[in-house]
Structure 1
Amino acid sequence: MTVGGLPIAVLDRADAARMMLRAAREHPRGDRPLAYTSANGEVLAHCDRDDAIAALFAEADQIVADGQSLVLASRLLCRVSLPERVATTDLFHDAARLAETGGERFYMFGATPHHVEKAVDVARAAYPQLDVVGFSHGYLEGEALFAKLAQIDALAPDVLWLGLGVPLEQRFMREHGHRLPNVGMIKTSGGLFDHLAGKTRRAPLVLQHMSLEWLWRMMQEPRRLAGRYLATNPRALLAMLRRSA
């Protein structure tokens, strides 16, 4: 189905987690990893404004709805309604529980050295049977980055959780996917590692269900986020009204 101009998978969280791990495990190695990503209102605004970013998202193998606004729009504007929001901060836990028994292997790449290490510690403590084969911060460039990608490819994780933010994650998949032929899948993760590490807190459920998590985040970081949301929210709303089916 289409919301705001992007093709969105009609999946609930449980099905999204099961499909993701199955696809990562069964994807033939020796080619590029699968590219799984997410969209929220801010993403819709970026894609509506910038054709280059829209083209990056068009290359994804799957896009799920990480924003409650997309779920609400689908109920009003689309032939098929999205069953629920598939937030990456929730999907990670769904996938980790399944991977404990299924044996799928994770690698976590992104955020600062401190926060990604803390995120891995939290994940390993919460899911003792989860195989996190490695992790790295996201501030690598040039030869250091290429060396790290070679290390990741040698480990051959089923899922590489990539936490760089939009559109850096999408550019990473385009520019470096060919360097990871033995990785099953790249799953973009936004601020997942910061959430796991406790740097940022999720909004109360009532705000999440009202599609107001952006307001919660803005209240936590008003100087950084107020201008961004004031610019992107109206554009996202117009994109959903014009380009949903």
Structure 2
Amino acid sequence: MPSERPNTHERRANPLGRAATASVARETVGGLRLAVLDLEQTADFMIDMVFPRRRVISRPLYLTSANGEVLSRCSTEPMTDKLFRSADLINADGQPLVMMSKLRSQKPLPERVATTDLFHIVARKAQDLGLTFYLFGADEAENEAAVTNVRRIYPKLKIVGHSHGYLRGDALRAKVDEINALAPDFLWVALGVPYEQAFVEEFMPRLANVGVIKTSGGLFNFLSGSRPRAPNWMQSLGLEWAWRLWLEPRRLFWRYLTTNPHALYLLFNRTRASQSKRD
């Protein structure tokens, strides 16, 4: 296993992000500093950052999520680690992280903040307040189906635009500039780890008119209906990974075989009480 690092806090020169998230308590779980927020609190925090006025005016606020695979990859992939630690806030999108924090942390994580659930809470609130969404990522068919379903479920939600994520070079830069011109309150980026984090790292300076960026993993697959959620009992027991493995064994077997044991090691050895919520 990789050796322990003396400092597992976010190493970032990020005064804007630190100031905007200063009120949010954090706990170190598996080596990453995670927000001590439940789903409703996370959604309220995101809304508060853009309504009635934008709180971070020179760039978007950037939220991402971590699960066991992310913990493992951050521990072994320096670039992935850097990308995650540049986020303004990291949510726990993994029940084992929540369970370990309840055993080891002074301020345990209240619940898993799955982006698939968070999206719907933010959408309901945004619909009532007239706030805007942009959905970027997945392939063209998945993206279109996801947007169609979201518009059906939330007919008053303002979706100012959407695009698949298979763009490169000049086409990608033009799309980013188009998103910036549309100035959505919330930009949902679903490209998968670590590509969506790298997208934010590269294009944040060109997205100054966006309110909040939330990386979203496989969110659009669930919104489109092409991938079913695990049963609630499996989610509550931290077994959603087993459900996903059953659905996609070829793609996920080796990944889970290598990352799950390592993530368990990190949860036991790099979970500790925080010294300060501002770290």
1:191 maps to 2:218: yes
Q: Deviations over 1:191-233 (max 9, x none)?
A: 0001111111110011001100000000001011011001100
Deviations 1:159-216 (A, max 9, x none): 1000001000111111111111101111000000011111111100110011000000
What is the aligned residue count?
A: 244
Higher helix share: 1
Q: Secondary structure at the match of 1:18?
A: helix
Q: 2:55 is matched with which residue?
A: 27
In structure 1, what residue type is equivalent to 2:247? Q
Deviation at 1:69, TM superposition (A): 0.8
| Counterpart residue identity of residue 229, structure 1 | Y
Shift of 1:74: 0.4
Distance in 2 between residues matched to 1:79 and 1:55, nearest whole Å: 26
Note the alpha carbon deviations across 1:22-57, whole angstroms, 9 max, x for none: 11442343x221110001111101111112211111
Q: For residues 81-115 of structure 1, what are the alpha-carbon distances to aligned partners after superposition, in whole Å with 9 as ceiling and x for unaligned?
A: 11111100000000000001112110000000011
Letter in 2 for 1:27: R
Please tell me whether residue 5 in structure 1 is matched to residue 26 in structure 2.
Answer: no
Q: TM-score, normalised by structure 1?
A: 0.98
Compared with structure 1, are the counterparts of its residues 167 and 24 closer, same or farther at alpha carbon in structure 2 (3 Å cutoff)? farther
Q: Contact 2:61 / 2:211 at 8 angstroms: preserved in 1?
A: yes
Please report the RMSD computed on the Cα atoms of aligned residues, expressed in angstroms. Answer: 0.9
Question: Is the CA contact 1:37–1:64 (under 8 Å) kept in the aligned structure 2?
Answer: yes
Alignment of 1:201-220 (within 5 A): 201-220=228-247
Whole-Å separation in 1 of the counterparts to 2:55 and 2:191:
24
Shift in CA distance, 74/28, structure 1 to aligned 2, threshold 3 Å = closer
Residue identity over aligned pairs, in percent, reads 53
In structure 2, C-alpha distance between the alignment counterparts of 1:21 and 1:108, rounded to whole Å: 17
Indicate the residue corresponding to 2:81 in structure 1. Answer: 54
Q: Is the 8 A contact 1:45 1:236 kept in 2?
A: yes
Task: Give the aligned residue type for 2:79.
Answer: A
Corresponding residue of 2:69: 42
SS in 1 for 2:82: helix
1:104 aligned residue: 131
Unaligned ranges ≥5, structure 2: 1-26, 273-279
Q: Distance in 1 between matches of 2:259 and 2:131?
A: 36
Q: Equivalences for 1:85-164 in 2 at 5 Å?
A: 85-164=112-191
Amino acid at match of 1:131: K
Conserved in 1, the CA contact under 8 Å of 2:60 and 2:208?
Answer: yes
CA distance in structure 2 between the aligned counterparts of 1:145 and 1:33, rounded to whole angstroms: 18
Alignment counterpart, residue 81 of structure 1, candidates 102, 108, 111:
108
Q: Is residue 238 from structure 1 mapped to residue 265 from structure 2 by the alignment? A: yes
Aligned equivalent of 1:71: 98
1:60 deviates by: 0.4
Q: Is the 8 A contact 2:49 2:56 kept in 1?
A: no
Corresponding position of 1:182:
209
1:170 corresponds in structure 2 to 197
Partners of 2:47 and 2:144 lie apart in 1 by 23
Q: Secondary structure at the match of 2:70?
A: helix
